[in-house]
Every structure is written in C-alpha cells, then in structure tokens.
Amino acid sequence: MNRIYTQADWINRAREVLPAAGFGNFDASIVIARGEGSRVWDEDGNEYVDYLIGSGPMLLGHGHPEVMEAVLEQLPKGMTFFANNAKGIELAEAIVEAVPCCEQVRFVTSGGEADMYAIRLARAYTGKPKILKFEGGYHGMSAEAQMSLAPSREVNFPTPVPDSAGIPQGVADEMLIAPFNDLQAVASLLTEHDDVAAIIVEPLQRIIPAKPGFLQGLRELCDKHGILLIFDEIVTGFRLAYGGAQERYGVVPDICTLGKIIGGGFPLAALGASTEIMMHFDKSVVGAEKWLMQLGTLSGNPVAAAAGIKTMEILKRPGQYERLRDLGQSLMDMQSEALSQQGITHQICGDPTLFDIYFTDVDPLDYRTAKHCDPKVNEVWNSNLRAQAVFKSPGKLYPSLALTIDDLELTRSAFKHAAKVVTEYEKGSN
C-alpha cells in the first residue's frame, strides 16, 4: 500500500533538500496540493479561497476549461522546440495589438529575465550606463533590480543599498535610487547625471498608486533628457486593463515588460518596444558591437503561448475588466468595513485589481511611508485570515475572475473575524 504523506511529512522532506525548506517564494509552512477555480487545497486537504493566485498569473482561476482545452490541444503536437512556432508568433501578434508601446516583442521565461533584458536594451540603445529606479520597486532578481528593493536602513538618495549578497560594487555605481512619487527628486537627479540610459518603474509600485501626473511627469522628463522610460508591467500588464497600466493611465513608455498573465499560468514573459529600439536584438541590422544577445531554452514555449493566447482571448471579451474591478472593489469595501467597525486604523492601498492594507494613519506614497505602525498587527490579520480559509500574500490581495458569491461571503466573514482578533491583540498589547 502506498503511504499517504501529510503536509508535515512534505515539510520535513523539503527541509532536507531545499534551503530554508522552500522555493524562496512563499511561506514554506504550507504545501499546496491542487487548485481548481477560485480555490486551492493543501496537502492535509484544507480548502482555501485563493487570493494569491500564483502571485498573479491565474487571473481566470485555476484550470479554466478553455485554457485547459488549448493546452491539451497543443501538448501532443510538441512541448518545446527551441525554434519558432506558430503559437509563439500568434501570442506576439496579440501582445503587439494590445499594448500601446509594443511594435515588436522578445520572449523570455520569467519576469526577472524580461526586466534584466529591458535594462540591457536601454543601455544598448542609448549608449549610456546608468539606470534610475525607485526605492522599493521590484524588478526581479538581477543585480540591478536588487538595489534598494527592500532596504532595512534608510540612506540618502540616490545611494543604492544592495538587498543581496554577491553583488559587486560596480553594479551599485551604475544605479541611482529615487523616492517613488517624487518628480522633483527625479528631475534633480537627471540634471546632475547626464549618463542615465533609462528610468525603470512599476506604474503601480507593489500596491502604491502613482500620484496624478507622476507617470506623465516621468514621460516628460525622459523626453527632455533623451532617456528611455521602462514600465515594468509584469504585474499590471493585462490586469489593470487589457492594454495594461499604459492603457489605464494613458502614459506610453519606450519599453515595457510583461509576464504572469500572458503565460496563462505557465513560465513565459516578454519585453516589447518600438521596432527601432528592438532592432538591437537583430545583429544583421545593428552589427556586432550594438547587438544585444538573448536566447533561452524555453523562450516562446508553445504550450505556454497556447495558454496565454486563450487567456488573453477570454480577457478581451466584453465586461471582464468591469467585473474584475467590481469584485475587487467589493473586497476592498468588505475589509474597510470590518476594520472600521472595530475602530482599527488602516489604509486600503492599491487598485481594485490588486491591493492590500497598511495598518497606519499615514497615506502610503512611497517605500518609506508604506509601512505598518505595528507590523505584528499585519501578522495577526493575515494568520487569522488563513485560519478562516482565506489564502493570500502578507502584502497583496489578488482578485480573480473565478470568484463566486460563496467565496465573497466566506471572505466577508473571515474579514470580520480577523478584525475582532486584531482588536483583541491591540487591547492586549496596550
């Protein structure tokens, strides 16, 4: 008889073969066994409403039947080729049609790769070395991206703080760090430094919205100084709107990166720009010295492309984004109502398609102001939500189109319960 492994068994096995007992992505104390629609189950059979949704890709929910049909149709035709394939070309066409800044795209496997190549592409195109990023902005795991992602100490801008060991000082020398939502600081830095290739920014930085005029101001500063504007749309692409943040906010970058949703739950990402900028991937056009070498074993994978094409086709149907925003707004209102009824100070931060709570009375405008007054309150809140069958990240809540009325009612009840527990904690800690 085959042994049935419990979640504790899997955690013990993970400790033997995985550093910190996990993949480095999420809480290693939970092992997910399967997902279906809006729900996931752990290895002990506990069921949750899923607001993590794979950190964003599963906007349609797990195992959407039309996406599954597209994947199953492709599988017997071949899983990967390391060569052009029709599905990859079709997906590129769909992205170019949807995303304002894209005339051409290049596929990679992960969002971090896409951001790394976007930075390199900006340097190749401009011939300049420096990159300006914003404190707290997440752009993957490259050496440049790991500068001031989550610094534990505050230093004077534009000094970068590496968030990882193993990054040489030379990388820091080519990075400038600015506070998000501060156009004056950016303008000052660009006046002082004439060797900046690009500004890279999340149009919605983690969950912090750009102030009115901020993104447009970045666009104008880039045009004034002859540098490129990169929108990291790994998260916001096809989530905030079909054409991403650049459609939603009406600001078109020079380069954008895309991931998560365009792969329909499979490993796939891309970067896109004008034909003039993207020509640096074509050695026959720009020559050896200006050529940007890029290849990847699974880039443009046909199974991932098939899932992405079908996902985008579904999202393009009338009413999908209106429904997503209605669901998200309902969840925002539920949280705020539950916390307000208990008199708990909080700020709902983000967009209805992606948001969470800061337990503070300060308006979160940048990395330094987007903090909990007492981080333990957030821990109590999230741990009690999970105990009430709500599965989410400690810092984000992703709505999905798979959510049902039953899911929302369960979630409403969980919010009310967690708010009461937070109140008890706050009384006990005073």
Is 325 a residue whose pLDDT tops 70?
A: yes
Pair 300, 84: CB distance under 8 Å = yes
What pLDDT shows up at residue 429?
77
Percentage of the chain with pLDDT > 90?
A: 97
Label residue 427 by pLDDT band (50, 70, 90). confident
State the pTM of this model.
0.96
117: left (phi over 0), alpha (psi -120 to 50) or beta: alpha
Q: What's the chain's Rg over C-alpha atoms?
A: 22
Q: What is the distance in angstroms between the CA of the first residue and the CA of the last residue of the chain?
A: 55
The DSSP element (H or E) to which 417 belongs, if any, is helix 405-429
Whether 138 sits among the annotated catalytic residues: the reply is yes
138, 249, 321, 398: the active-site residue: 138
pLDDT of residue 368: 96
Q: Which two tokens stand for residue 157?
A: 């801008």
pLDDT of residue 155: 95
Q: What is the mean pLDDT of residues 210-222?
A: 98
Catalytic residue chosen out of the listed positions 182, 232, 254, 351: 232
What mean pLDDT comes out for the span 262-285? Answer: 97
CA separation for the pair 397, 331 (Å, rounded) = 9
CA distance 275 to 277: 6
pLDDT (average), residues 156-171: 95
Q: Using 50, 70 and 90 to split pLDDT, how confident is the model at 1?
A: low
Residue 361 is a catalytic residue: no
Burial zone of 191 (CB within 10 Å; 0-12 exposed, 13-18 middle, 19+ buried): exposed
Q: How far apart are CA 385 and CA 420, in angstroms?
A: 11
| 65-315 under CATH 3.40.390.10, yes or no | no
Closest CA relative to residue 94, chosen from 283, 268, 298, 331: 268
Is position 232 annotated as part of the catalytic site? yes
Residue 83 has pLDDT above 90, yes or no: yes
What is the model's pLDDT at position 430? 65
d(CA 146, CA 166): 11
Give the mean model confidence (pLDDT) for residues 152-176. Answer: 95
The per-residue pLDDT of the chain, averaged, comes to 97
Q: Which of 260, 356, 366, 367 is catalytic?
A: 260
- pLDDT bracket for residue 322 (50, 70, 90): very high
Work out the average pLDDT over 31-52: 98
Reading the block at residue 17, the tokens are 């073969």
Average pLDDT over residues 65-85: 97
C-alpha–C-alpha distance, residues 158 and 189, integer Å: 8
Contact 400, 58 (CB under 8 A): yes
